[in-house]
Amino acid sequence: MKPDTRTAMHALITQVRDTLPFDAPAAQVCSGECQGCSLKLLDYLDGELRGWEQRLDSGDRPNLGDLSQLARTSRKVYAALQKNGLVTRTESKTA
């Protein structure tokens, strides 16, 4: 049985938070050359996740498009962080 969209969104948010280095110090995130600002990407995605956490807490029910959009954004941020050397392929959990 497939989970409802609220459960799926909670699972996606948990997976993204567990996979990406949101708690890494700025000095680590901004070391060396970058292809896209990792710090800004993490801040942006953190804001998106917080927004969805608040919406879910207030009873909002995401649709499949919302899930797909957040997953796509998360994959793009992950790819940029991977290019910048902040995550490795083995950390991927299909975010």
Is 5 a domain residue?
A: no
Is 29 a domain residue?
A: no
CA dist 71 and 31 (Å) reads 26
Q: What is the mean pLDDT of residues 33-40?
A: 77
Is 94 a domain residue?
A: no
Q: What is the mean pLDDT of residues 62-88?
A: 91
Query: Any idea how long the chain is?
Result: 95
Full domain range(s) for residue 40: 36-89
Is 24 a domain residue?
A: no
| Distance, first Cα to last Cα, the chain | 21
Number of domains forming the structure of the chain: 1
Tell me the residue type at 72: R
Q: Name which of 5-14, 37-46, 58-67 the model is least confident about.
A: 37-46
Is the pLDDT confidence value at 94 over 50? Answer: no
Is the pLDDT confidence value at 34 over 70? Answer: no
Is 76 a domain residue?
A: yes
pTM for this model (two decimals): 0.82
Is 10 a domain residue?
A: no
